[in-house]
Structure formats: C-alpha cells, structure tokens
Structure 1
Amino acid sequence: MSGTLKLHVVTVSTRPGRVGPKVADWFTGFAAAHGAFEPVPVDLADFNLPVFDEPHHPRLRKYEHDHTKAWSASVDAADAFAFVTPEYNYFAPPSLVNALTFLAAEWAYKPVGLVSYGGLSAGLRAAQSEKLVMTTLKMMPLPEGVAIPMVGTLIDKEGVFRPNDLIEASARSMLDELHRWAGALKPLRAPVSG
C-alpha cells in the first residue's frame, strides 16, 4: 500500500456522548471497501487541542507545543480528508474551527469531503460554513458530500450506524471525486525547489 493515497477520516466532535465515532467507523470501513484510498481513522478528541495557543503564526511552522506538533504530523501525512461533522448552532463545531486554525501549510492542496450529520438539516449548514474556512487554507472542499439526516434513527440497538442506500451512494460518489482530486493535487504538494 506504499503508493496508495491516504484518506484521513476525521471525527470532529469531541464532546462526551458524541455520535461522530459511530458514523466515522462506518465511513472508514466503507472507504476501505471502496478501495481508492488507505483510510486512516483520526479522532480529534485524541489530540486534546486547547484553544489555539501557539505564539507564532501557523504559516511559519515554528510550533512550540507537543499537541501542535502531533496534530501537524497527522495532517501532514494525509493526501485527502473526510471530516465527519455535526452542526452546532447552524455552524461548524468549534473543535473543528480550532483544529483548522492551528495549522496552515499542512492543509494546502488537499481535497476534503464532508460527511455531515444531524437532525432534519443533516448538518448541511455546518458543512457550508466549514468550506469557507477550508478554502482560505488552500484546501479543496468538494461539492459532493454525504448528508445524514435524523442520524439517531440510523443507529441500531448495538450502537452501530446503519446507512441507507442513498447515503451509501453519496459516499461512493464523494470517494470517487476525492480520489480524482487527491491525485490531481499531489504534484502541487511537492516541495518547491529554489
């Protein structure tokens, strides 16, 4: 798998009792079966990032804190991202906005697919707000996404997320596009000589 593009499936919610890991587990398995990527599960909660606390601008990559260095290494290793995101107050979760803010160059020229979930709105308002931040960081958020309305009704008694056919079709389409963009953007991520 050394030549396989790496897709980081990032669980964005960090709060206790979150649904995100259940959706992320499903999507990671679905991406593995799809076969275009080597999916890597990443849980934002594992990094325990405080509110942005680096004294230097992220573009300088002069990180002083271990949590930032660990987060930088994780993001740097990815060729593409799938953010599994809820919606808080019609907006992106603060945990994701903060995590994006910590870094700059590590995000650049990488495509992003959004797997949003929630109630009736399926997290779509959060997804739209997240795209604004991502383009500022030179990421390529895709129009294709996975929207999961009424997510609680799709979790079985054992706590396993069970998608319907429409959700799976959306995931397949998003993964196809992510793979196209990840391959096309890879040359832009090569070190610049000179």
Structure 2
Amino acid sequence: MTHARDVASAARNADAAENARAAESARAAANAAENARAGDADAEAVARALSSPLRLRILRLCAFDARTNKELAELLDVNPGTMLHHVRTLADAGLLAADPVRRGTRGAREVPYRATGLSWNAPVPAASVLILDTMREQLVGVDPEDVDVTWMGLRLNPVHLDELRERLGALFEEFTSRGPDADGEAYSLVSVLHPDLNPPAA
C-alpha cells in the first residue's frame, strides 16, 4: 500500500514539475513575444525619426558637439518651436541624448543634446533618396568651388563590385574610427554607387 502511495505521489510530483516547466516555457515565450513587439516598435520609432532631412542634419550637427535647441534653430534657420518638436522626436527615439543642464549667457536654463550614434546602422526605408535630399539641403549656400565631385562610369563583375564596396567601406571605417581632429574643420562625405542604365552594345 505504501509503495502504491509513493508511486502516486511521484507521479503527481512529476506532473507538477512538468506543468511548472510548461508554465515557465509559456512565460518565456510571452516575454520573447513582448520583447519582439517592443523591438519592432523601437525600430519603427527610429525609422520615423530618421525619415526627415532636417532631423538628419540635426544629428550631424550634434555628432561632435552638444548643442541646444536654440543653437540648432539658429544654425538651420528654423523656428525654435519647430526645432523643439524635431529634437524631442530624435530624443524619444534614442537618437539624441541630453547632456547636463547648463546656464546660458543670461542665466537661462539650457539643455544641450548630443547624437548617440544609434542612427549609423539603423535601417531606414528609401535611405538613398533621403540621404540625397539631405545632401541637397546641405549644399545650399556652399560655394560650388568648395565641393569636390567625382563621377565615373564603371563596368564591374560581381567579384570586382564586392571588392570596390569592401575597400570603400574599409576606407570610411578607417577615417571614422580616428575620431574628429581637434584642429579640424567640418566636412560632409556622400558616397553613391548605383546600377547604371548602360548595357553593352548589341
């Protein structure tokens, strides 16, 4: 009789352990799903924040130096109220981070913002069009003689195309990893590589 009770008790314990494992697995799956939804929402927020040439220019201005809403508005010739909306959008998406509060020349409370670098590898729909639109805005007021331009046609097989991409990427990474020069001036570099409607002659 005792043996039968022991067997029944062991079976109940095994069932309880199995139920506990199943419950834990369900909780883990629910947490994973929730995290995935949160990740998707974060990615969507970042993509929305990066969908504006003006906001890309704000990030560029805050890449090396922390700047206040007032400073950004003056540099980009934008109404301070409009600028505040864009700054908050970038901050809410984690693309700008606030530095410690400081006092302005008249003692006013100012919050400088610095780019977090999150935008560097963030996926953005139609990024090529967005970057080119941003570049056009940045070139307004720049003397054409101060702009270095190279435009060439290439005919490359897949191996050489990969080689070109890798070498360009390595060059950009090298200069980026050096960080800004203490005595340097600001420059913008845009690289565009695209299929060309130029097939071989028949």
Does TM-score exceed 0.5, indicating one fold? no
Q: Which has the larger radius of gyration?
A: 2
User: What TM-score range do you get, normalising by the shorter chain?
Assistant: under 0.3
Q: What is the TM-score normalised by the length of structure 1?
A: 0.27
Q: Which has the higher strand share?
A: 1
